[in-house]
Chain A
Amino acid sequence: DSGVTQTPKHLITATGQRVTLRCSPRSGDLSVYWYQQSLDQGLQFLIHYYNGEERAKGNILERFSAQQFPDLHSELNLSSLELGDSALYFCASSVGGTSSNEQFFGPGTRLTVL
């Protein structure tokens, strides 16, 4: 157990819908990272937040947004869902805000869009 929690574990929804994925970092970690893992695209970095502020954006679609709250938990919002958004979504946390800190991954949320 990495200490990073993600809810829900599984999510099944329909095209066009909107969902929210939640992540709670390890105690003491200030950074949260979001990743998408699909069979055809592999592991893709989406976005990084550090202590409530956006630090870096990767291949995140405009339909997706994220935020990190004062208690450091983070939410990833996915809207106007498409079949291709079906994937495993991981969050990870680290102590600091740069790559010099080891990242700890959560168990993931499996999203299925029907």
Chain B
Amino acid sequence: GENVEQHPSTLSVQEGDSAVIKCTYSDSASNYFPWYKQELGKRPQLIIDIRSNVGEKKDQRIAVTLNKTAKHFSLHITETQPEDSAVYFCAAITSGGSYIPTFGRGTSLIVHP
């Protein structure tokens, strides 16, 4: 089955810095890669996603890049703010008839004011 590795497990940055979280996956059939943000005690929320036919996607301060050959994708957050502090999860999914997501273990991002 699919295996997703996520690094780092904890990331501490100063407000205004950039943050990068990386995930690697094992199944070349995976073709959809969402990122979720989960604040303490709250539900996961989709913040950005990318499909395998796209190399990069941006949404304001957030961007995701995908390298299909190397089987890795990354989340980039620029100009970080204290409210970006949360746990971020990546996932790899093989879409089609079934939806079976495999999640990374999560990255705890701490943005210091």
Contact = CB atoms under 8 A, between A and B. Distances in A.
Interface residues of A, number: 22
Contact of A45 (B32, B34, B43, B100): B100
Interface in A73-114: 90, 97-100, 102-103, 105-108
A43 B99 contact: no
A16 interface: no
B7 interface: no
B99 A55 contact: yes
B7 to A, nearest CB: 14
A42 B99 contact: no
A22 interface: no
Chain B contact patch, size range: 20 to 34
B25 interface: no
Given A56-B100, A58-B100, A97-B99, A103 B46 contact: yes
A108 B32 CA distance: 24
Given A2-B43, A56-B100, A105-B43, 10 more contacts: A43-B89, A43-B106, A45-B100, A55-B97, A90-B44, A97-B99, A98-B97, A103-B34, A105-B44, A108-B43
15 contacts: A42-B89, A42-B104, A42-B105, A43-B89, A48-B99, A55-B97, A55-B99, A98-B95, A99-B32, A99-B94, A99-B95, A102-B46, A103-B46, A105-B45, A107-B42
